C-alpha cells in the first residue's frame, strides 16, 4: 500500500505539468455542457419556405399570413431572373436554400367560396428526416390555427404533403452522408496532424530543417501524400453506405469526388496546422479530435439543424468545413444535385484550404527560423 | 592545415536561467577530426545544434569558412549532419531513405540514381529493400553516415554516432570516418566515450557548458603527465569543481 502515494503523486505531476493536454481535457466537457445545455435544441425556428400562390386571393393571402406571422417560418423570395414556378423552387430545395414549398392552386378561392374540396400542396425536403418531421408537425399546427378561424371550410380543406429525396424519412439517409462528412474531416486531419509532430518527436525534423527543401514543398508534399489515403477511406465508406445501408447515390459520383477533393484538402491542411502548433503526437491527436469532431457533430447541421442553433453558434458554424460539405454530400447523394447547386459551398471550402495551407507554410517557416 | 573552417566565439546558450553552453571559444581546422567530448549533459549536442542552425544562439558567433552563420543561412549547405537521436526513417528501406534525403537535398534524377548505385557498396543487395529497422546496427550506421554525405558537405557534424553500438561496430565506423577525412572533409564528432579519443586529431572536452581541456591527445597526456585522456578528464573535472 505504501507504493500508492508516490505513484499517485507522480501521475498528478504528469497531469498538471502538461498544460496543453489539460486544457483539452477540461475544455471538452465544458464546451459539451455549454452546447447541450444552452445553445443546442431540436426546435426549429427558421424554416425557409418558398410559396407558390397561384390563387393570389384574399383568403390565400390569409392562409400564407398564418405561416409568416410566427417565429417558425421565413419566406424565401426569388432572385432577379428567377421564374415563379415549381421548378425554380424545386431547384432551391435541392440546393438546400429552402426547406419546404407551399403550393396554393389557382382555383383555391373559387372552390372555397363554392364549398368544393380544395387541396393545398406541401413539398418538404426529406433529406434531413428529423427536420422534415418537425416541419410536418408545424404545418399541422398552422393549418389547425387557420381552420379554427375558417371553420366553415374545415371539411373541404385538404392537404397533400410530399416528402422529396427521402420519402420514407429513413434516418439512415440523413445520418450516413452526414457521418461521411464528419469522418472524412476527422480522418483527413488526423492523417496529417501526426505527421509533423511525429517528425518533431523522432528528431527527423532536424534533417528536414537543414536541407535546402522549401517549407511550402514540405507542407504540400505531406498533404498530397495523404489525399490518396483519404480518398480510399471515402470510397470504402461510400461503398458501405450504398451496399450495406442501401443509401441511394442519386447524384454524379464524379461531382461528389470533386467536392470531396477540396474538402479533404481542407481537412489535411487543418491537420498540418494542428501538427505544427502542438509539441507531440498525443497532444496533436487530442487537438485534432477537439477541433474536428466536436464542432462537426454539434455545429455543422449533422445532428442539430443550423436554424436551431443560438446566434453565436450559428456564426461559428460558418467557419466549420463540415457545414459546407454536409450540404454538398446530402445534396449530391440524396437529391442528385449538380456542381452548379453548390458552387458557393465548394468555393468556401477551397478558400478555407488555401488559407490553411498558407498559414501552415508560414507557421512552419517560422518554426524553422526560430530553430535556427 | 591550421586554417579554421569553423570558429566558435563566445558562444552561449541559455534555457531560461540554465546556462547550457557558457561563452565557449574553439576552432575546427580544415581537414581534421575534432573530437568533442564530455559526459551526458555537458552541452555537446546543444553546441552542435547551434552550429547546424537548429537551435538559436543566446549570444556569440559561429563563423563557417569565414562567413558568420547569423548573416548567411546558405553557409549551412557546407554542413552535413548525423544525429544520435534520428538518422534514418525506420520503416523505409535503405534505398528509400537515400532517395528521400537525395530528393530534399535537391539532387536530380541521375545523381539520385548514382547515389543509390553507390549504396550497394555499403549494403549487400538482399538487404537493400529491407526496412532500416530490420538492418544490422553496423549497416544501419553506415547508411546513415552515407545519407549525411549526400549533399557533399565540406564539414561533417556527427552527434554521438557511436552511442549504443558494440566495440567492433564502433571500430569499423571510425574507419569510415577516416576514409571520409581522406577525401578532404572536416569532421566534428561528439562522444561521451573517452576511449574514442585516440581516433581524433584534436579534442575539446566540455563539462557543464565550459571547455575544460583542448588540444592534441598525445600532447595533452605528455603536458599533464597522465597516462590517459580519461585520467586527464577526471583531473580537469576535479580542478573545475574545486574552483
Average predicted confidence (pLDDT) for chain A? 87
Q: Which chain A residues have a beta carbon less than 8 Å from that of B64?
A: none
Helix, strand counts (H, E) of chain A: 14, 5
Top residue of B13, B15, B51, B52 to mutate, by most chain A CBs within 10 Å, is B52
Dmax over Cα atoms in chain A, in whole Å? 93
Top residue of B15, B48, B54 to mutate, by most chain A CBs within 10 Å, is B54
Q: Given an 8 Å threshold on Cβ–Cβ distance, is A372 in contact with B151?
A: no
Q: Given an 8 Å threshold on Cβ–Cβ distance, is B73 in contact with A204?
A: no
Task: Specify the pLDDT at position B12.
Answer: 96
B33 forms beta bridges with: B187
Residue A23, pLDDT > 80, answer no
Task: Specify the pLDDT at position A36.
Answer: 64
Please report which residue ranges of B41-159 form alpha helices under DSSP H. Answer: 44-52, 94-104, 109-119, 137-148
Each residue's pLDDT tens digit, A193-217: 888 888 888 888 888 888 888 888 8
B211 forms beta bridges with: B206
CA distances from A157 to A63, A68, A75, A126, A134 (A): 12, 20, 23, 24, 21
State CA A223 to chain mean position distance: 23
Q: What is the dihedral of CA B41, B45, B49, B52, to 10 degrees?
A: 160
Q: Given an 8 Å threshold on Cβ–Cβ distance, is B49 in contact with A202?
A: no
Q: Which among B78, B72, B84 is positioned nearest to B36, based on CA atoms?
A: B84
Number of Cβ within 10 Å of residue A341's Cβ equals 23
Compute the nearest-CA separation of B87 from chain A (Å): 7
Q: Given an 8 Å threshold on Cβ–Cβ distance, is B77 in contact with A206?
A: no
Q: Given an 8 Å threshold on Cβ–Cβ distance, is B86 in contact with A209?
A: no
Q: Which chain B residues have a beta carbon less than 8 Å from that of A212?
A: 77, 104-106, 151
Task: Specify the pLDDT at position B90.
Answer: 86
A21 falls in which pLDDT band (50, 70, 90)?
Answer: low
A window 177-216, beta carbon within 8 A of B: 202-204, 206-213
Task: Specify the pLDDT at position A37.
Answer: 64
Q: Which chain B residues have a beta carbon less than 8 Å from that of A202?
A: 85-86
Q: Which chain A residues have a beta carbon less than 8 Å from that of B76?
A: 210, 372
Pair type for strands B79-82 and B155-159: parallel
What pTM value is reported for the model?
Answer: 0.74
Give me the residue label for grid cell 578532404: B184
Q: Which chain A residues have a beta carbon less than 8 Å from that of B104?
A: 208, 211-213
State CA A220 to chain mean position distance: 26
Compute the nearest-CA separation of B59 from chain A (Å): 13
Q: Given an 8 Å threshold on Cβ–Cβ distance, is A213 in contact with B85?
A: no
Q: Given an 8 Å threshold on Cβ–Cβ distance, is B86 in contact with A211?
A: no
Domains and CATH numbers, chain A: 47-164 (3.40.1710.10), 170-371 (no CATH)
Q: Given an 8 Å threshold on Cβ–Cβ distance, is B49 in contact with A211?
A: no
Q: Given an 8 Å threshold on Cβ–Cβ distance, is B52 in contact with A210?
A: yes
- A370: nearest CA in chain B? B56
Each residue's pLDDT tens digit, B126-184: 888 888 888 888 888 889 899 999 989 999 999 888 777 788 888 888 888 999 999 99
A53 falls in which pLDDT band (50, 70, 90)?
Answer: very high
Compute the nearest-CA separation of A216 from chain B (Å): 12
- Work out the angle between the directed axes of helices A321-335 and A281-299 (0-180°, nearest 10): 60
Q: Which chain B residues have a beta carbon less than 8 Å from that of A203?
A: 83, 85-86
B175: domain range?
4-242
What is the average per-residue pLDDT within B97-121? Answer: 89
Compute the nearest-CA separation of A15 from chain B (Å): 23
CB A209 within 8 A of CB A372: yes
Give chain B's domain count: 1
Q: Which chain B residues have a beta carbon less than 8 Å from that of A370?
A: 56
Compute the nearest-CA separation of B55 from chain A (Å): 5
A30 falls in which pLDDT band (50, 70, 90)?
Answer: confident
Residue A38, pLDDT > 70, answer no
CA distances from B69 to B8, B50, B51, B208 (A): 10, 10, 8, 24
Compute the nearest-CA separation of A220 from chain B (Å): 13
With pLDDT > 70 as the criterion, what percentage of chain B qualifies? 98
Q: Given an 8 Å threshold on Cβ–Cβ distance, is B53 in contact with A210?
A: yes
With pLDDT > 90 as the criterion, what percentage of chain A qualifies? 38
State CA A296 to chain mean position distance: 7
Q: Given an 8 Å threshold on Cβ–Cβ distance, is A207 in contact with B86?
A: yes
B67 falls in which pLDDT band (50, 70, 90)?
Answer: very high
Q: Which among A250, A258, A262 is positioned nearest to A330, based on CA atoms?
A: A250
Each residue's pLDDT tens digit, A279-319: 888 889 989 998 998 889 888 988 888 877 888 888 999 99
DSSP A21-38: HHHHHHHHHHHHHHIIII
3 state DSSP class of A74: strand
Q: Which chain B residues have a beta carbon less than 8 Å from that of A209?
A: 53-54
Which of B53, B81, B106 faces A207 most closely, judged by CB atoms? B81
Among the residue ranges A172-176, B4-8, B59-63, B157-161, the one predicted with the least confidence is A172-176
3 state DSSP class of B87: coil
Q: What is the CATH number of the domain that holds B10?
A: 3.40.50.300
How many angstroms separate the CA atoms of B148 and B86, rounded? 11
Q: Which of A51-60, A169-178, B86-95 has the highest mean pLDDT?
A: A51-60
3 state DSSP class of A305: coil
Q: Which chain A residues have a beta carbon less than 8 Å from that of B85?
A: 202-203, 206
What is the average per-residue pLDDT within B20-41? Answer: 92
What is the average per-residue pLDDT within A24-37? Answer: 69
Task: Specify the pLDDT at position A121.
Answer: 95
Q: What is the ipTM of this complex?
A: 0.82
- Asked if A371 reaches chain B (Cβ–Cβ under 8 Å), the answer is yes
Q: What is the DSSP letter of B93?
A: B
- In the numeric block, which cell numbers belong to residue B71? 548573416
Which of B54, B79, B89 faces A204 most closely, judged by CB atoms? B89
- In the numeric block, which cell numbers belong to residue A362? 508560414
Give me the residue label for grid cell 566558435: B8
Amino acid at each position: 500500500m505504501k507504493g500508492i502515494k508516490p505513484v499517485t503523486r507522480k501521475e498528478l505531476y504528469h497531469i498538471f505539468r502538461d498544460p496543453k493536454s489539460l486544457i483539452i481535457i477540461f475544455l471538452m466537457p465544458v464546451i459539451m455542457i455549454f452546447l447541450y445545455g444552452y445553445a443546442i435544441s431540436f426546435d426549429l425556428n427558421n424554416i425557409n419556405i418558398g410559396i407558390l400562390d397561384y390563387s393570389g386571393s384574399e383568403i390565400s393571402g390569409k392562409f400564407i399570413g398564418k405561416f409568416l406571422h410566427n417565429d417558425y417560418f421565413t419566406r424565401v423570395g426569388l432572385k432577379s431572373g428567377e421564374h415563379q414556378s415549381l421548378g425554380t423552387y424545386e431547384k432551391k430545395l435541392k440546393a438546400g436554400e429552402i426547406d419546404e414549398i407551399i403550393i396554393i392552386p389557382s382555383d383555391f378561392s373559387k372552390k372555397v367560396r363554392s364549398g368544393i374540396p380544395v387541396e393545398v400542396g406541401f413539398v418538404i425536403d426529406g433529406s434531413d428526416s428529423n427536420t422534415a418531421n418537425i416541419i410536418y408537425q408545424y404545418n399541422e399546427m398552422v393549418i389547425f390555427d387557420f381552420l379554427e378561424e375558417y371553420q366553415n371550410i374545415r371539411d373541404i380543406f385538404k392537404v397533400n404533403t410530399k416528402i422529396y429525396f427521402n420519402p420514407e424519412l429513413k434516418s439512415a439517409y440523413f445520418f450516413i452522408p452526414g457521418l461521411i462528412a464528419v469522418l472524412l474531416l476527422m480522418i483527413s486531419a488526423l492523417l496529417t496532424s501526426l505527421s509533423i509532430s511525429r517528425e518533431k518527436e523522432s528528431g527527423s525534423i532536424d534533417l528536414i530543417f537543414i536541407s535546402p527543401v522549401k517549407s511550402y514543398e514540405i507542407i504540400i508534399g505531406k498533404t498530397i501524400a495523404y489525399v490518396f489515403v483519404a480518398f480510399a477511406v471515402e470510397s470504402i465508406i461510400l461503398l458501405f453506405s450504398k451496399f450495406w445501408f442501401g443509401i441511394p447515390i442519386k447524384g454524379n459520383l464524379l461531382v461528389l469526388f470533386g467536392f470531396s477533393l477540396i474538402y479533404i484538402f481542407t481537412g489535411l491542411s487543418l491537420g498540418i496546422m494542428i501538427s505544427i502548433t502542438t509539441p507531440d503526437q498525443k497532444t496533436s491527436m487530442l487537438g485534432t479530435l477537439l477541433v474536428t469532431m466536436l464542432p462537426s457533430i454539434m455545429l455543422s447541421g449533422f445532428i442539430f439543424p443550423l436554424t436551431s442553433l443560438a446566434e453565436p453558434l450559428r456564426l461559428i458554424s460558418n467557419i466549420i468545413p463540415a457545414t459546407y460539405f454536409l450540404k454538398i454530400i446530402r445534396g449530391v447523394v440524396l437529391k442528385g444535385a449538380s456542381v452548379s447547386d453548390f458552387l458557393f459551398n465548394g468555393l468556401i471550402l477551397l478558400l478555407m484550404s488555401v488559407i490553411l495551407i498558407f498559414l501552415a507554410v508560414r507557421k512552419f517557416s517560422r518554426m524553422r527560423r526560430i530553430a535556427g | 592545415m591550421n586554417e579554421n573552417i569553423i570558429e566558435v566565439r563566445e558562444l552561449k546558450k541559455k534555457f531560461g536561467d540554465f546556462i547550457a553552453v557558457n561563452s565557449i571559444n574553439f576552432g575546427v581546422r580544415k581537414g581534421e577530426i575534432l573530437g568533442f567530448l564530455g559526459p551526458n549533459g555537458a552541452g555537446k549536442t546543444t553546441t552542435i545544434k547551434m552550429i547546424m542552425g537548429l537551435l538559436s544562439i543566446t549570444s556569440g558567433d559561429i563563423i563557417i569558412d569565414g562567413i558568420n552563420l547569423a548573416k548567411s543561412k546558405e553557409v549551412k549547405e557546407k554542413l552535413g549532419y548525423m544525429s544520435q537521436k534520428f538518422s534514418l526513417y525506420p520503416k523505409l528501406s535503405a534505398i528509400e531513405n537515400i532517395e528521400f534525403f537525395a530528393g530534399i537535398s535537391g539532387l536530380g534524377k541521375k545523381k539520385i540514381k548514382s547515389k543509390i548505385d553507390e549504396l550497394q557498396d555499403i549494403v549487400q543487395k538482399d538487404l537493400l529493400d529491407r526496412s532500416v529497422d530490420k538492418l544490422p546496427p553496423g549497416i544501419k550506421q553506415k547508411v546513415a553516415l552515407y545519407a549525411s554525405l549526400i549533399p557533399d558537405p565540406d564539414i561533417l557534424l556527427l552527434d554521438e554516432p557511436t552511442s549504443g553500438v558494440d566495440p567492433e561496430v564502433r571500430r569499423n565506423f571510425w574507419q569510415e570516418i577516416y576514409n571520409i577525412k581522406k577525401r578532404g572533409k572536416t569532421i566534428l564528432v561528439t562522444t561521451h566515450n573517452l576511449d574514442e579519443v585516440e581516433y581524433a586529431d584534436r579534442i575539446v572536452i566540455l563539462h557543464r557548458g565550459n571547455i575544460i581541456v583542448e588540444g592534441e591527445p598525445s600532447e595533452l597526456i605528455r603536458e599533464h603527465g597522465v597516462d590517459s585522456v580519461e585520467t586527464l578528464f577526471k583531473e580537469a573535472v576535479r580542478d573545475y569543481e574545486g574552483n
